[in-house]
Amino acid sequence: MKFIHVEHKNIKELVINWHITEVCNYDCKYCFAKWGRPKELHRSLEEIEKLLDYLASYFIKGNSTLKSELGYETVRLNLAGGEPMMLGSTFFIVLMLAKQKGFKTSIITNGHYLVNSRLDFPKNVLDMVGISFDSQDLSTREKIGRVDRKGNSLSAEDLKIALEGLIETQKGIKTKINTVVNSLNNEEDFSSLICELKPYKWKVLQVMPYGADDLLISKEKFNQFVVRHSGLGLPLFSESNSTMTESYLMIDPLGRFYQNSVSSIGYKYSDSINQCGVESALAQIAFNPKTFLSRYRQIDIDVIES
């Protein structure tokens, strides 16, 4: 078998991932978003706007070395957690402010509040949504921890309803499904579901070694999952542990850049962006533009007969 990758010299869009809160209604065993419940930045609208202004000035309006190296044209602020939609009206305010300041916007969500929220989603504040979905089987989702205290869990049918609702209210929205491949779901077949949903992107990620060890899988098993779902016309993008290292621009709930490392376990944090500015904070963490670019290559596997 031969892996054929589409090469990109640059990207159209830079993505900044703001893990805005640690709070979540699920308890996924592999979750790395653990910061000890600090005084999260989102509690102050003044601090939120200050951070967004700093990011817009540097990444959108400025002419940084990073912009020259990656060649991006737009910047997308991706809100993640925890579960960002648990912030309710504050979550919507952040999205609206980000749009006003020139960002494209997206969220990573477990989908629960897309079908179980008392708040109406404002129209046209979201350019992309990523919904985390790890299994079509309830018992598997329960073992992973994708269930709330009342036993509620996003089913495949709920996932369809959530996506349909956003497509109606968010003009031109792109949809993405994120699947963390682990020891409980690595034999599962997602091909029919992904074909039916027709997302813009299906991202499959090898579970990272920051949670329960019994969920870890080898790179070989992860690659087997990728190969099994390839060559079917699915919009498959895969990320192994090595691909996810030093390849994301991430901000924690306190408003600090943070990054994983090839040489150590855990994360390295910058000082607060609101206190020292973007350029100074960014210089304090490792970020590999080449690895960042590699995450935007779609997997297409051809079987070549010898």
pLDDT digits (tens, 9 = 90+) for 136-158: 999 999 999 999 999 999 999 99
Residue 22: both structure tokens together: 């640690």
The pLDDT tens digits of the residues spanning 261-302 come to: 655 567 889 999 999 999 999 989 877 666 666 655 554 433
H or E element that contains 90:
helix 89-100
**pLDDT attached to residue 67:** 87
Q: Give the mean model confidence (pLDDT) for residues 76-99.
A: 97
- Burial code (b: 16+ CB inside 10 Å, e: under 16) for 211-246 equals bbeebbbeeebbbebbebbbeeebebbbbbeebebb
Residue 7 — pLDDT band, cuts 50, 70, 90? very low
Residue 50: both structure tokens together: 């200050």
Look at 128 and 305; give whichever has higher pLDDT. Answer: 128
**pLDDT attached to residue 2:** 31
**Cβ contact 163:188 at 8 Å:** no
Look at 183 and 209; give whichever has higher pLDDT. Answer: 183
Q: Give the mean model confidence (pLDDT) for residues 96-102.
A: 98
Residue 305 — pLDDT band, cuts 50, 70, 90? very low
Residue 194 — pLDDT band, cuts 50, 70, 90? very high
**pLDDT attached to residue 303:** 31
Establish whether the linkage from the previous residue to 165 is cis, with ω within 30° of 0.
no
**pLDDT attached to residue 247:** 61
Q: Could you tell me the residue ranges of all domains in the chain?
A: 2-302
Is 2-302 assigned to CATH 3.20.20.70? Answer: yes
Q: Give the mean model confidence (pLDDT) for residues 101-113.
A: 98
Distance CA 252, CA 34 (A): 10
Q: Give the mean model confidence (pLDDT) for residues 224-241.
A: 93
H or E element that contains 133:
none
Strand, coil or helix: what is 75? strand
The pLDDT tens digits of the residues spanning 156-172 come to: 999 999 999 999 999 99
**pLDDT attached to residue 292:** 61
**pLDDT attached to residue 199:** 97
DSSP at 256: E
Whether the predicted pLDDT of 44 surpasses 80: yes
Strand, coil or helix: what is 280? helix
Radius of gyration of the chain measured on its C-alpha atoms:
19
Whether the predicted pLDDT of 1 surpasses 70: no
Strand, coil or helix: what is 118? coil
The pLDDT tens digits of the residues spanning 119-134 come to: 899 999 999 999 999 9
What is the average pLDDT score of the chain? 88
**pLDDT attached to residue 306:** 24
